[in-house]
Amino acid sequence: MSEKKIIAAIGGDRRLVEAVRRFARDNTVSCYGWDNCPEICGSIKRCSTLEETVKNADIVILGLPCSPDGKVLAAPLCDSSIRISDLTAVIPKDTVICGGMLPTEITENFCKCIDYYKDELLQTGNAVPTAEGAIMIAMQETPFTIDGSHCAVLGSGRIAKALVPRLKALNAEVTVAARKKSDRAYWETQGIKVCGFEKAKDILPYTDILFNTVPALVVGKTELDIFNNKGIIIDLASRPGGVDFEYGKKMGKRIIWALSLPGKVAPVTAGRIIYNTVVTLLNEKGVMV
Residue 40's pLDDT is 76
Residue 43's pLDDT is 84
Residue 3's pLDDT is 84
Kindly state the average pLDDT of the residues 62-83: 95
176-209 pLDDT, tens digit per residue, is 999 999 999 999 999 999 999 999 999 999 999 9
39-51 pLDDT, tens digit per residue, is 776 789 999 999 9
3-state secondary structure the chain: CCCCCEEEEECCCHHHHHHHHHHCCCCEEEEECCCCCCCCCCCEEECCCHHHHHCCCCEEEECCCCCCCCCECCCCCCCCCCEHHHHHCCCCCCCEEEECCCCHHHHCCCCCEEEHHHCHHHHHHHHHHHHHHHHHHHHHHCCCCCCCCEEEEECCCHHHHHHHHHHHHCCCEEEEECCCHHHHHHHHHCCCEEECHHHHHHCHHHCCEEEECCCCCCECHHHHHHCCCCCEEEECCCCCCCECHHHHHHCCCEEEECCCHHHHHCHHHHHHHHHHHHHHHHHHCCCCC
Q: Is the fold of 6-118+266-284 the same as that of 127-258?
A: yes
Q: What CATH code would you report for 127-258? A: 3.40.50.720
Q: pLDDT grade, residue 2 (50/70/90)? A: low
Looking at CATH, the fold of the domain delimited by 6-118+266-284 is given as Rossmann fold (3.40.50)
Kindly state the average pLDDT of the residues 99-103: 96
* pLDDT exceeds 80 at position 91: yes
103-123 pLDDT, tens digit per residue, is 999 999 999 999 999 999 999
* pLDDT exceeds 90 at position 137: yes
pTM for the structure as a whole: 0.91
**In the chain, what are the domain boundaries?**
6-118+266-284, 127-258
